[in-house]
Structure 1
Amino acid sequence: METVVSDWKRLAESVIKGHEVTAKEALSIVQASDDEVLDILNAAYLIRRHHYGKKVKLNMIINTKSGLCPEDCGYCSQSIVSEAPIDKYAWLTKEKIVEGAQESIRRKAGTYCIVASGRRPTNREIDHVIEAVKEIRGTTDLKICCCLGFLNEEHAGKLAAAGVHRYNHNLNTSQENYGKITSTHTYEDRVETVEAVKDAGMSPCSGAIFGMGESEMEAVEIALSLRGLDADSIPCNFLNAIDGTPLEGTSELTPNTCLKLISMMRFVNPSKEIRLAGGREVNLRSMQPMALYAANSIFVGDYLTTAGQEPTADWGIIEDLGFEIEECAL
């Protein structure tokens, strides 16, 4: 397909000077021939280098509550409709959550992500997280991100006051595609939580899961929506279709498609933390290192219910690229 942009470097230079990529320009990145992937990545790297140099941020997840979720998200092994054979457990103790922070430091991650399944946290669950956060913040320089479901104004304020730096609540897919993925909540519900996070003074983290039946234009719309929300950190997940979930067997992505999507996200959100997240290992495969020419952040270690690669493998990728890890000091 002929693209509307043939000079990716020139487009990147205009972005660095302040140009906001249009929907048409973003779509041209996604629709570009695979023969243009190297040129697109090179251009995306100009933008990435301008804002982040050669630094790579590492993030680690702890799954503090697994399964037992009343939502019916089609991609998720923890949802009420999932038949995936996963571990299901209630909240980890405060001590286990604090121990996880030390593991995060051992993995050279600067951000520790406390995640729990469920629609929204109760008052007691918020207080449980806050106790752990205060202890972690008192003994480390780790940045804390929480992902606990929908938030009201009161809970958002309490987390912010306790020292939570960032809150994750992904849009996941486009507004138009959302009803095909889940029926127990809406796209607008997710937007409202991101806005509550911002109002409370926490940094908003919100991203996408690509490969869930969205069109190329819908993929672009996700990136534009995240720009509109002014998300500081944007996790880019690539569907890992887990057996036993409604999306079992779905396989829409190639490594080159993933590289174009991550590059498009960089062009649309040039100054933001663009993170390689879930599904990168199974979708990018041997081309994972190339994605870091557009992204500047990754999750290190395991995800919620699926295994990631060994931290040493990620450290090796970063070193081989000549990049540097942003480490957290004790």
Structure 2
Amino acid sequence: MSRFDALAADVLKGGELSAADARMILDCPDDELLALVAAGSRIRRAHFGDRVTLNYLVNLKSGLCPENCHYCSQALGSQAQILKYSWLDPAEAVAQAEAGIRGGASRVCLVASGRGPMNRDVDRVVATATAIKAAQPSVEVCACLGLLKEGQAEKLADAGVDAYNHNINTAESFHDEIVQTHTYGDRVDTITRAAAAGLSPCSGLIVGMGESNEQIIEAIFALRTLDADSIPINFLVPFDGTPMEGRWDLTPAHCLRIVALARFACPTAAVRLAGGRELHLRTLQGLALHLANSIFLGDYLTAEGQAAASDLELIRDNGFVIADQADTTEGARGRAVARQRGAGTTLPANA
């Protein structure tokens, strides 16, 4: 039994990953990388079987953001050549969502740039989410609108939105190096508001921005403390025209170690391979699927993804199947059901 097998066995028995264990994973030598993946795969399959959930992003509002996040092509001061537009008409947003659903997505992510929504913006998202749910009741809807104000999370939950995404992005100790127009605490506050309203908390990170291994561990352990139901792992896309232009710090093997760390540290969370996976994992994407259980289909806001056909082939070739809309492995639906039960709503017997 390898040292990673022993660690996986402990995690499967309910043990919690320590900082020393986390450092061992990130320091895994190349000749033990397959052993690390095999051990992590045991955890992944114990909780998610052979299913891969497909997510589809709908970019409701692009660019025009007042925040100065150094990694973002949509940020204040960015010279990146991107499409900029204000809010999509709800009918167009629904049409885009339906295209993703036809492609196999069981979760639609409604994303808007900006510091946070005004109440009228929340109303727009509510209209879109309501229309999606009316046409596709079993599809999960996740909103990602920035920092939330009092009452906004509850309004989204009441409209049937299942989850809310707001990434912490990095460790608290590194946060002020990458953005100065809001605080790490602001981000945590929004995640906490979403969870308190009954929305499934989705929060992840971006790696490759100059953070240390210790700060990667700090960030992933913070996500564990926040009890994130799903953890998107983004790999920096160093857009020309941003302060991160030209930064290529990641290797495919190290990206794989980071995905493994998320799986060992947060065994029951949905680990999502998100933006930049094609650029940085490259030919190791298949191995990463033995650790992660979720990927995004198509493009990522302002970054181009690989062809959907290639993603479906990647899933099949590695022995996995696409989770359909009836699967309940990701936590958001379970939390939504609990919210309804807590409110005294009568549910169908198979809910």
TM category, shorter: over 0.9
Q: Deviations over 1:195-239 (max 9, x none)?
A: 000010000000000111111011011110000000000000111
Match of 1:147 in 2: 144
For 2:294, the equivalent position in structure 1 comes to 297
User: CA separation in 2, counterparts of 1:159 and 1:99?
Assistant: 20
Instruction: Please state whether the residue corresponding to 1:13 is helix, strand or coil.
Output: helix
Q: What is the alpha-carbon distance in structure 1 between the residues aligned to residue 30 and residue 147 of structure 2?
A: 39
Q: 3-state SS of the aligned residue for 1:176? A: helix
Q: How does 1:83-122 map to 2 (within 5 A)?
A: 83-122=79-118
Q: Identify the match of residue 202 of structure 2 among 199, 202, 205.
A: 205
TM-superposed deviation, 1:6: 6.0
Conservation of the 8 A alpha-carbon contact between 1:236 and 1:275: yes
Aligned residue number for residue 230 of structure 2: 233
1:277 aligned partner, one-letter code = A
Residue 153 (structure 2) aligned to one of 142, 152, 156? 156
Partner of 1:219: 216
Cα shift at 1:139: 1.2
Does the aligned pair in 2 maintain the 1:56–1:298 contact within 8 Å?
Answer: yes
SS in 2 for 1:127: helix
Distance 1:192 1:254 in 2: 33
**After superposition, where does 1:122-141 map in structure 2 within 5 Å?**
122-140=118-136, 141=138
AA partner of residue 161 (structure 2): V
Quote the Cα distance in structure 2 between the aligned partners of 1:153 and 1:48: 36
Counterpart selection for 1:8 from 4, 7, 16: 4
Per the alignment, residue 32 of structure 2 pairs with 36
Q: CA deviation at 1:167?
A: 0.3
1:269 Cα deviation from its structure 2 partner = 0.2
Answer 1 or 2: higher relative contact order, Cα 8 Å, separation at least 6: 1
How far did residue 328 of structure 1 move? 2.8
1:270-292 per-position Cα deviation (integer Å, ceiling 9, x unaligned): 01100000000000111111100
The equivalent position to 1:269 in structure 2, one of 255, 266, 270, is 266
- List gaps (5 residues or longer) in structure 1: none
- What's the secondary structure of 1:60's corresponding residue? strand
- Please report how far the alpha carbon of residue 40 of structure 1 lies from its aligned counterpart in structure 2 after TM superposition: 0.5
What is the CA distance between 1:327 and its match in structure 2?
Answer: 2.2
Q: What SS does the corresponding residue of 1:95 show, helix, strand or coil?
A: helix
Quote the residue 1:70 is aligned against.
66
Q: How many Å separate the matches in 2 of 1:242 and 1:327?
A: 34
Deviations 1:167-204 (A, max 9, x none): 00000000010011000001110000000000100000
The structure 1 residue matched to 2:256, chosen from 238, 249, 259, is 259
* SS at 1:39 equivalent: helix
Give the Cα separation in 2 of the matches to 1:281 and 1:307.
9
* Distance in 1 (alpha carbons) for counterparts of 2:247 and 2:139: 36
Amino acid at match of 1:82: S
SS at match of 1:70: coil
Whole-angstrom distance in 2 between the partners of 1:36 and 1:244? 38
**3-state SS of the aligned residue for 1:56?**
strand
Root mean square deviation of aligned Cα: 1.1
Task: Give, in whole Å, the separation in 2 of the partners of 1:102 and 1:223.
Answer: 33
C-alpha distance in 2, partners of 1:79/1:286? 31
Identity value in percent: 49
Paired position in structure 2 for 1:190: 187
**Aligned equivalent of 2:165, options 168, 175, 187:** 168
Query: Which letter maps to 1:32?
Result: C
CA deviation after TM superposition for structure 1 residue 322, in Å: 1.2
Q: Residue 2 of structure 2 contacts residue 35 of structure 2 at CA under 8 Å; is this kept in 1?
A: no
- The residue matched to 1:18 in structure 2 has which SS? coil
Distance 1:84 1:261 in 2: 28
Any conservation in 2 of the 1:153–1:200 contact (CA below 8 Å)? no
Runs of 4+ residues over 3 Å off in structure 1 = none
Q: Distance in 1 between matches of 2:79 and 2:97?
A: 31
Give 1:104 shift.
1.5
Partner Cα distance (1:222, 1:120) in 2: 22
Counterpart CA distance in 2 for 1:281 and 1:105 is 22
Aligned to 1:46: 42
Q: 1:34, 1:164 → 2: CA distance?
A: 42
Matches of 2:79 and 2:29, distance apart in 1: 38
Indicate whether 1:181 and 2:178 are aligned.
yes
